[in-house]
Structure 1
Amino acid sequence: MPAPSITFDELPSGARAAIEAETGPILKIENVSTGLNSSLSARAHTAGGVAFLKGLRADHRWVWTQRREADVNPYVTPLAPRLLFHVIASGWDVLGFETVDGHHADYSPGSADLAKVADALQELASLPCPDIELRLAEQRLSSYVADPADAEAFAGDALLHTDWNNHNVLITHDRAHLVDWGWATRGAAWLDPAHWIIWLIAAGHTPDDAEELAGRLPAWASASPRAVDAFAHAGVNLWEEIAGSAPDDWTMTLRDAARVWHRHRKVRS
């Protein structure tokens, strides 16, 4: 279930004061649509510029993703917007980032954004995985594979983003920026292109075309066909769990895309 949304003005006064201690006096707030993993999402305009605020209640079950984003940020800028501050006050945990003025990536066939997203994937694959606490891909996916031993193929030493929702990819004139690093993971380098494939199929690509795009990335060459088959199987189970018994439009689209890719892999093998 998504985190319940809240506006900046609905925060406790102590939390607002702690944020303004970092930003300076806030002249204007733009509350924006929140994602699944945050309750507060807003742009704070001050005399010094604009900060993007992202927050959760300090007792929320996903609040650990706030710490994960804070910990990983120094290692992923400028691929990601720079973290300006992290405050915990009055029962709220809030991150403040530099604002990126761009549009959400368009994953549809023929989109000019695809090349920039591929460049971001390649840039991420070139970064060393920091020595910080991260979830392990083989553990995250172990309950979704057909055989527990299949998850061993997901282990590795690469830093992964894992959430390739196009709303987490902001396109500017010169590059793609990745946001929402709460689910950063350590694992095999080819897994991020594999996650991307499901989103590409959901955006209208055929499985062959989506795999062809992923195949342009050097990291993809390290994946064995059997390992990719295991991930495609896990992807179906993962998205069926996310969609649940009463999926909304976007989760149903991703679930169906995962099913299409899995069938494609089974037929080809």
Structure 2
Amino acid sequence: MDRRPRFSAGPPRNLPRQPRRGRRHPGGRLRTPARRGPDARRRAPVLRQGRPHRRPPHRRQPPRRRRPSLSAPRRPGPDLVGIHHAAGWTAVVIAHLDGPHPDLSPASSDPDQIWALLDKLTYSPAPPPYTAAAAATPSGAAGLQGWNQLLADPPGDLEPEVRNRLHELAELEAAWPGLAHSDRIVHGDLRADNMVRDHDRGVTFVDWAHATTGPACIDAVSLAPQLILAGHAPQDIARLLDEHPATATDPLASTAFLAALTGHWHRNARKPAPPGAPGLRAYQHRAATAGIALLSLRMN
């Protein structure tokens, strides 16, 4: 049997690093065969008219939602082992996760895993069983607010930039309830201590007590200030929010939720500490500062 390659002719000389074999597609594109080795998961380059095809940098195109990589964890949460009912109680048994909380610092690769998992979590609508279970608990994210109260009675220690933009922040916050309903899975309380970096599965989301449905942006926007608190530059996180599919597909909802969440932190940080949570107000103050840094970049 003749096993010669489909195209026996070599590549044109004016194309550097041209693959030896390929498949010709309509429109003059030549897609290379999949490579093997450590970088086998990278997308093969697409060549058009003898040059790698890239969009000009001055043309801002909306991101195209691609199917998440199969190398990401299979599920965002731990595997369900079983459900047991006895004496009016329900026990939900989940698989053991072996590992620490993820490291959100810039030197760690854990944030990349988290963003990939968020992409997979919000790629498609929530399945009907999840939607039916989540419908029994209303979303707390839709009711987040704080700027309207601060606008009515501005504290004397407000930063000048925040004081000058109170009206804009209150308008963004007021728009959020109308954008807060959708069909994506929402964890609702995503931070490092609600995740486990399992030695086999990688990063996994745990503590789904606030699970609900809503826009894809909720968990991604909630995570963004946590990354700034962990040492990431606000400019880098703002750029990531511009590009990640969970937030880039609806920039208005993303910015409105960030405004509502930051207003909630800013208002609550000024209240007395609740019993048993002495560090809560200090955390909310730091988170509000990180949220303001992101809002300034998105509103500018």
Q: Structure 2 residue aligned with 1:198, among 215, 225, 228?
A: 225
Post-superposition, which runs of at least 4 consecutive aligned residues in structure 1 deviate over 6 A? none
Q: In terms of Rg, which structure is larger?
A: 2
3-state SS of paired residue (2:225): helix
Match of 1:121 among 109, 118, 123: 118
Does structure 2 conserve the Cα–Cα contact (< 8 Å) formed by 1:136 and 1:186?
no
> What residue in structure 2 maps to residue 154 of structure 1?
180
Q: Return the TM-score normalized by structure 2.
A: 0.55
Q: Give the letter aligned to residue 283 of structure 2.
A: T
How far did residue 162 of structure 1 move? Answer: 2.2
Unaligned runs of 5+ in 1: 1-75
C-alpha RMSD of the superposition? 3.0
Shift in alpha-carbon separation, 1:150–1:127, aligned structure 2, 3 A? closer
Counterpart code for 2:188: T
AA in 2 matched with 1:190: C
Do residues 238 (structure 1) and 284 (structure 2) align?
A: no
Task: Find the aligned partners of 2:240 and 2:294 in 1 and give their Cα distance.
Answer: 16
Task: State the match for 1:84 in structure 2.
Answer: 81
Kindly report which structure 2 residues correspond to 1:149-228, keeping only aligned pairs within 5 A, or say none: 149-173=175-199, 175-224=202-251, 226-228=252-254
Q: What CA distance in whole angstroms lies between the structure 2 residues aligned with 1:111 and 1:187?
A: 29
* Residue 18 of structure 2: aligned partner: none
Once the two structures are TM-superposed, the CA of residue 235 in structure 1 deviates from its matched residue by 1.1
- Aligned equivalents of 1:257 and 1:217: distance in 2? 21
Distance verdict in 2 for CA 1:88–1:236, change over 3 Å:
farther
How many residues in Structure 1 have an aligned counterpart in Structure 2?
Answer: 192
Instruction: Indicate the residue corresponding to 1:101 in structure 2.
Output: 98
**Could you tell me which amino acid in structure 1 is paired with residue 287 of structure 2?**
A
- 8 A contact 2:268–2:284 mirrored in 1: no
Q: Which has the higher strand share?
A: 1
Structure with greater proportional helix content: 1
Instruction: Specify the code of the residue in structure 2 equivalent to 1:253.
Output: Y
SS at match of 1:211: helix
Distance 1:109 1:250, change over 3 A: farther
- Larger RCO: 1 or 2 (CA < 8 Å, sep 6+): 2
Give the fraction of aligned pairs with identical amino acids, expressed as a percent. 27
Cα gap change, 1:206 to 1:172, in 2 (>3 Å) = same
